[in-house]
Amino acid sequence: MSMIENNKRDRAIGYFAAKMHCSQSVLAAFSEECGISEEQAFKLGSCFGSGMRQGEVCGACTGALMVLGLLYGETHIGNTDERELSNRITELMMRRFKETNGSCKCNDLLGYDVSTPEGRKKAREEGLFTDFCPKMVASAVDILEEIIEQK
C-alpha cells in the first residue's frame, strides 16, 4: 500500500489529488482485492481518464467497471453463467452511477466537451477537475462497495 489512506474512498480521492486519473484512482483503491499491484492498477487505468479523453463514460465509472471485471468477470470461454453475471453487474454499476450523478458521460457531467483543448481549458478554469471530479471518484467507490457487499 502507498502513502494514501486505508479506507477505499479516501485512498481513491488521495490518488486523484496526487494527480492520477479518475480511472486509475478508483482501480488502485481496490488493487489488493483485485490481486494486482498498485503500479499495475495505475498502468491499466491510465488510458481511461476524461472518458478516454473523448468525454465518453466517466473514468471513475470505468475504473469501477475494471474492478468488477477483475473480481467477477468471465474467466472461461463459453461460460454463459459468468457472462450473465458480468453483464448484470456492468448494467447495475452503470445504472446506479447514472441515477446518482445524472449521467455516466464525462462531457455531460462536466458540462464541457473535454475531447477538445478548449473544453478541457474551460473545465480546468472552473476548477471542475479539482472540485467536481473527486466527487465522481467518491461516488464510483461508494457504488462499487455497495455492489461488492451485495454480491
Q: What is the count of structural domains for the chain?
A: 1
Q: Is 2 within a domain?
A: no
pLDDT at 151: 78
CB 26 within 8 A of CB 45: yes
In a domain, 28, yes or no: yes
Cell numbers describing residue 85: 453475471
Question: Does residue 4 surpass a pLDDT of 60?
Answer: no
* pLDDT tens column, 78-128: 999 999 999 999 999 999 999 999 999 999 999 999 999 999 999 999 999
Residue 56, domain member (yes or no): yes
The domain in which residue 45 lies consists of 8-150
Flag whether 141 is in a domain. Answer: yes
Would you say residue 1 lies in a domain? no
Answer yes or no: is pLDDT of 6 > 80: no
pTM for the predicted model, two decimal places: 0.93
Q: Determine the pLDDT at residue 1.
A: 36
Q: Tens digits of per-residue pLDDT, 19-70?
A: 999 999 999 999 999 999 999 999 999 999 999 999 999 999 999 999 999 9
Long-range contacts of 70-77 (CB under 8 A, 24+ apart): 70/30, 70/34, 70/35, 70/36, 71/33, 71/34, 71/148, 71/151, 72/151
Within a domain: residue 110?
yes
